[in-house]
Amino acid sequence: MRFIVLRWFAGGRLFSAAVATVLACTGGFAAAATTPRYGGTLLVELHAPSLVLDPVKWKIGAPEYAASAQIASVVFDRLLTLDRFGRFQPALATEWSHDAGWRRWQFSLRSGVLFSDGSPLSTADVAGALQELLAEGSPGKAVVTAAGTHVVVQFPSAVPDLLEQLASQRYFIYRRAADGALLGTGPFFVKEFTPAPSGTTIARYRLAASEHCWAGRPFVDALDVNVGVPVLRQLFDLQLGKADVVEVSPDLVRRAAQENLRVWASAPVSLYALQVGADTASPGKGGAAQLASAKVGLGEALSLALDRATMANVLLQRQAEPAASFLPQWLSGYAFIFSSASTMGMGNNVARAKEISGPLFAGASGPAVASPTPLRLRIDAGGDLAKLIAERVAINARQAGIPVQVQPHSLTRDASSGNAASGEKTAETAGLRLVSWRYSSLSARAELDAMVATLQIDKAADEKEKSVEDAEQLYARERRLISERELIPLVVMPEYIGLGAEVRDWMPERWAEWHLADVWLDGKRTAGSSAGAQR
Amino acid sequence: MSFRTKLFLVFLITVLASVSLVAYGVTHYTQAAFEEMDAQRTDALVAQFQKEFAQRGDEVVHQVENIANAEITLRMALDLARPNADPSLYVHDATGAAQDHGLDFVEFVNADGTLISSAQYPARVGYKSEWVTAEKDWKDSKAFLKKEELPDGVALSLTVVRTLPVGDKNFYIIGGRRLDQNFLASLVLPAGMRTLLYRNVEPGFVPSALTDAGGEVAQADRFAPIIERIQRSSEPVVQTVNWTTNPADAETFHANGLTGRSKELLGVLLVGSSRRELVTLTTHIFEIAGAVVAAALLVGLLISLWVAARITKPVEELADGAREVAAGRWDTHIRVRGSDEIGQLAGAFNEMTLTLAEQKERLVQTERVAAWRELARRLAHELRNPLFPMQITVENLQRARQLEISSSWKFLTSPPPHCARSWRI
């Protein structure tokens, strides 16, 4: 059995606190601008209409839960974290090990950890939370048991990337109260929720600093999180000093820069892709083989028709990157191979696209695809950006002789809800669909599996084709998925965060995991507040 | 049928016919006047539309020139004229320009026709707009109607193009205002009229392309014949649409084609005029005419009765007089009323009966004389009949005396005197 044992007695926040204490004791007023201060309320504005702090309810890959995950990360802790150098750092777990087959994992819990209500964290709490979260997770049917100060996770098959998964996604540790409310061990806890007044969309969560957080008290006294704030208003609020941390839409990044606002960009964390559904082929015009062939042909024509470079560099003003693969370079490590357009037929070649699409839309002479009526392109995500990309896809497709009509998000949502209710149609059978995918896992394999499962692609593959044990197999699988063109990657986009002038020590991970507990506020807003609070 | 009835009916029919003729004439001329007024209103509305169209065009020209003359546009044009310029910097500029200048459509096009920025269809950036570069001189060009492709369909735009010369190249600014229901809503319409706009974006009639000031048009399919006629001939069309069986619900539509720069049919303006006012007016006239006819009928009835009675009474008296004459009362005399033909007839009748009476008296006298003569003749005859045997007897006696006793029969030699006298009778 191979063991990995890592010990880490001070988290990043603890270290920062120590530095702050030392600096404060030295009384170096000249260094006040760089000396962390306690106190103040950090004002955060989010576009999401509400927060869902129960990780079990999150849909993997859904962008609408990204904001919830950011706030959840200050309420709950994970067993371990990954630092910016790719090293696992202990959090609630101080030690971990696994057997030779990567099936049995054992975690030793940190002692003296308290929930926000003051009750101690137990191995049963950890086991309960993990059991809930792993029940439907990609690792398979795990059995989580509490054994003394250890928690043991047993998988039916090898899960070599469990640590990457537990350090990301929704694998937070919590205790579910009898009324369904969740308690966390994080640096903040939800103190108050103010629903949106009638006529507005903005609701407010007030999170107070937890005085007995195992990693130490956060610098700011509270987080005021306003949700449902339009992106443009967030920018105005940032300019006016009414907000400290806001989301900046990619199309507003240049504007923010022109206004001399601080904007932080993550690594690409959102993928926009085009899913070619099954009903783009007309069932009355041919057999299954012909339909499959026609669908591949349509996918190929669309892939060649799409001008990703213009999409990313002109339309999205260089705030996005053309995507040739499903997983980004920072996650997979091999995405640059797909960037060579000629290898995968991902380059913009309208003439070739027309050649392919011509017979498909020629009616009787074509094999099977589509009626003369335009293909409907549904948009999964709301917002102007998704609409803009979808419209560009439609224009590119029309240039290649493929009639495509964009279906607004509201209609898509209605249709989706209707379909979900009736259970008649799945995502796969929905014509063209603009998919917005938010990377949430630090495991490339888990991310790809989640994408495949959620988007219901690669159904024809057998278990052998799906099984991935190393990076080479993962690359082969992704390459096969790309060549099948059920899902055509378009662009990947970073997350942009606007920061107020008083925000200090904003040091998130490059995969867009914020560390709000490390942030402190400089300036008058901290004066008179709990500046004397000690960690 | 009596003369009086005939006369009464003739009067009555004459009155009815006269009133009906007048009512018809009034209705007809009223309808004609209304139609003319309606046509004038429609012409005025079309003229107003054209005026608004021209005015909006001037406004768009003004706004587009403002954009072209703005410093930010000049900077953009200069920057994009440089080699390896980054057009992505200006992707959203058209949106800002459209908002600032109150235009629905703004696009910036580079010298080679590449779309740099589009307010109405941002996703189209990078594509060529060759129709802009095909025209050599856009200076002083007026606003024209253009089919504008949008993400959610096609719209009609009142478009203006201006150029910004940068060195030997041109930078194009295209601005436009949507021609839609808001434009229709801005037109001031008389009561009972409405305007509709059809966007001729596809061959044949597309119901969803028809809009009025309120948005979608109910029963749009009913306009298909009008639109299809215009699509075939491009000539104005006037047609009445009956929405229900009630003629008051009908509308008359005057349809005029709206063409683009190449005289292609891009839209159709329909000016609808409700028939309700006309139908109400006509109904009102008919009601009044009905009341007048009824009154005329009543009055005509009374007058006809009086007139007929007045005319026929002398005639009836004449007829009665004639019947009395026929009955033998030759001295019948009727009253003479006036000196007209009937009066003269009555006088002549009276003269006739007088003459007849005199002739009758004379005839009676004559007959009486004749009767006496007959009586005398018969009396003489009656007297002669017994005297003749007596004379025979006397003569026989005389002859007997002469023969046998001359003296004893002396007295018999001459007949008694009374016998001779009777004989002479």
Q: What percent of chain A has pLDDT over 90?
A: 46
Please give the tally of structural domains in chain A: 3
Query: pLDDT: is A67 or A290 the higher one?
Result: A67
* pLDDT tens digits, B195-206: 888 988 788 888
Tell me, yes or no, whether A369 lies in a domain: yes
d(CA A105, CA A503): 40
Mean pLDDT of A446-463: 84
Pair (A90, A227) in one structural domain: no
Q: Quick check: A416 pLDDT over 50?
A: no
Q: Which residues of A touch B124 (CB under 8 A)?
A: 395
Across A20-24, A232-236, A346-350, least confident range: A20-24
**For residues A123 and A111, is the Cβ–Cβ distance under 8 A?**
no
Which one of B126, B145, B179 terminates a domain?
B179
A222: domain CATH number is 3.40.190.10
Asked if the Cβ–Cβ distance from A394 to B123 is below 8 Å, we say yes
Name B367's Cβ contacts closer than 8 Å, sequence gap at least 6.
Answer: none
Tell me the whole-structure pTM to 2 decimals: 0.73
Measured at the alpha carbon of residue B134, what is the angle toward residues B129 and B136, in degrees to the nearest 5? 130
Pair (A447, A356) in one structural domain: yes
CA distance A391 to chain B (A): 6
Domain range enclosing A127: 77-184
**Pairing between β-strand B265-274 and β-strand B251-259 as defined by DSSP bridges:** antiparallel
Which one of A184, A219, A253 terminates a domain?
A184
Name B161's Cβ contacts closer than 8 Å, sequence gap at least 6.
Answer: B64, B132, B135, B138, B141, B172, B173, B174
Number of inter-chain CB pairs under 8 A, A vs B:
42
Asked if the Cβ–Cβ distance from B151 to A313 is below 8 Å, we say no
Tell me, yes or no, whether A472 lies in a domain: yes
Pair (A375, A478) in one structural domain: yes
Tell me, yes or no, whether B175 lies in a domain: yes
Which one of B179, B200, B235 terminates a domain?
B179
Q: Does A446 touch chain B (CB under 8 A)?
A: no
* pLDDT tens digits, B71-100: 999 999 999 988 888 888 898 899 999 999
State which residue of chain A sits closest to B125, comparing Cα positions: A315
The reported pLDDT for the residue numbered A15 is 45
Q: Quick check: A4 pLDDT over 60?
A: no
Pair (A476, A337) in one structural domain: yes
Going A521 to A523 to A525 to A526, the CA torsion angle's sign is positive
When mean pLDDT is compared over A174-183, A240-249, B136-145, the highest value belongs to A240-249
Mean pLDDT of A155-170: 90
Query: pLDDT: is A139 or B294 the higher one?
Result: B294
Q: Does an H or E element contain B277, and which?
A: helix B276-326
Q: Quick check: A288 pLDDT over 90?
A: no
d(CA A314, CA B402): 194
Q: Which of residues 117-176 of B touch A (CB under 8 A)?
A: 121-127, 151-152
Pair (A329, A450) in one structural domain: yes
Backbone angles phi, psi at A183, to 5 degrees: -110, 140
Asked if the Cβ–Cβ distance from A394 to B88 is below 8 Å, we say no
Asked if the Cβ–Cβ distance from B87 to A314 is below 8 Å, we say yes
The reported pLDDT for the residue numbered A11 is 42
Distance spanning both ends of chain B, measured CA to CA = 67
Tell me, yes or no, whether A448 lies in a domain: yes
Q: Quick check: B236 pLDDT over 70?
A: yes
3-state helix, strand, coil in chain B (%, to 5): 60, 20, 25
How many CB atoms sit inside 10 A of residue A3's CB?
11
Across A33-37, A400-404, B123-127, B238-242, least confident range: A33-37
Query: pLDDT: is A380 or A187 the higher one?
Result: A187
Nearest residue, CB atoms, B122 vs list A255, A307, A388: A388
Task: Look over chain B and give the mean of its residue pLDDT values, rounded to a whole number.
Answer: 84
A318 three-class SS: coil
Pair (A277, A306) in one structural domain: yes
Asked if the Cβ–Cβ distance from A307 to B127 is below 8 Å, we say no
Pair (A245, A277) in one structural domain: no
The reported pLDDT for the residue numbered B168 is 83
Pair (A97, A208) in one structural domain: no
Q: Does A48 touch chain B (CB under 8 A)?
A: no
Across A37-51, B77-91, B287-301, least confident range: B287-301
Q: Quick check: A2 pLDDT over 70?
A: no
Q: Which residues of B touch A317 (CB under 8 A)?
A: 88-89, 91-92
Tell me, yes or no, whether A1 lies in a domain: no
The reported pLDDT for the residue numbered A1 is 36
Tell me, yes or no, whether A16 lies in a domain: yes
One-letter amino acid of A172? F
Of B65, B110, B78, B74, which Cα lies nearest the Cα of B91?
B110
Across A327-336, B31-40, B87-96, least confident range: B31-40
Domain range enclosing B418: 331-425
How many CB atoms sit inside 10 A of residue B228's CB?
14
Pair (A88, A179) in one structural domain: yes
Please give the tally of structural domains in chain B: 2
Q: Quick check: A473 pLDDT over 80?
A: yes
Distance spanning both ends of chain A, measured CA to CA = 40
Pair (A255, A322) in one structural domain: no
Measured at the alpha carbon of residue B373, what is the angle toward residues B372 and B375, in degrees to the nearest 5? 60
Tell me, yes or no, whether B397 lies in a domain: yes
d(CA A290, CA A293): 5
**For residues B157 and B137, is the Cβ–Cβ distance under 8 A?**
no
**For residues B174 and B159, is the Cβ–Cβ distance under 8 A?**
yes
B161 three-class SS: strand
Tell me, yes or no, whether A528 lies in a domain: yes
Q: Which residues of A touch B152 (CB under 8 A)?
A: 406, 408
Nearest residue, CB atoms, A314 vs list B125, B151, B152: B125
d(CA A386, CA A273): 10
Mean pLDDT of A43-57: 92
One-letter amino acid of B160? V
CA distance B152 to chain A (A): 8
B91: domain CATH number is 3.30.450.20
Task: Look over chain A and give the mean of its residue pLDDT values, rounded to a whole number.
Answer: 81
d(CA B368, CA B372): 6
Backbone angles phi, psi at A111, to 5 degrees: -90, 155
Pair (A461, A476) in one structural domain: yes
Q: Does B208 touch chain A (CB under 8 A)?
A: no
Q: Quick check: B327 pLDDT over 50?
A: yes
d(CA B152, CA A405): 8
**For residues B226 and B253, is the Cβ–Cβ distance under 8 A?**
yes
The reported pLDDT for the residue numbered A365 is 41
> How far does Cα A92 stand from its chain's mean position?
22
Residue whose token pair is 């799945």: A426
Nearest residue, CB atoms, A317 vs list B88, B121, B151: B88
Asked if the Cβ–Cβ distance from A254 to B89 is below 8 Å, we say yes
Pair (A276, A257) in one structural domain: no
Q: Which residues of A touch B114 (CB under 8 A)?
A: none
Q: Quick check: B29 pLDDT over 80?
A: yes
Tell me, what's the ipTM? 0.74
A364: domain CATH number is 3.10.105.10
* pLDDT tens digits, A494-511: 999 999 999 999 999 999
The model's confidence at residue A436, banded by pLDDT at 50, 70 and 90, is very high
Across A98-102, A463-467, A493-497, B42-46, least confident range: A463-467
Of B70, B153, B145, B148, which Cα lies nearest the Cα of B105?
B148
Tell me, yes or no, whether B366 lies in a domain: yes
One-letter amino acid of A527? A
Q: Quick check: A316 pLDDT over 80?
A: yes
Asked if the Cβ–Cβ distance from A314 to B124 is below 8 Å, we say no
> How far does Cα A383 stand from its chain's mean position?
17
d(CA B262, CA A149): 84
Name A499's Cβ contacts closer than 8 Å, sequence gap at least 6.
Answer: A238, A244, A245, A261, A262, A263, A264, A506
d(CA A243, CA A202): 14
Interface with chain A: mutation pick from B91, B93, B95, B208, highest number of A CBs within 10 Å: B91
Which one of B162, B179, B196 terminates a domain?
B179
The model's confidence at residue A418, banded by pLDDT at 50, 70 and 90, is very low
The reported pLDDT for the residue numbered A411 is 55
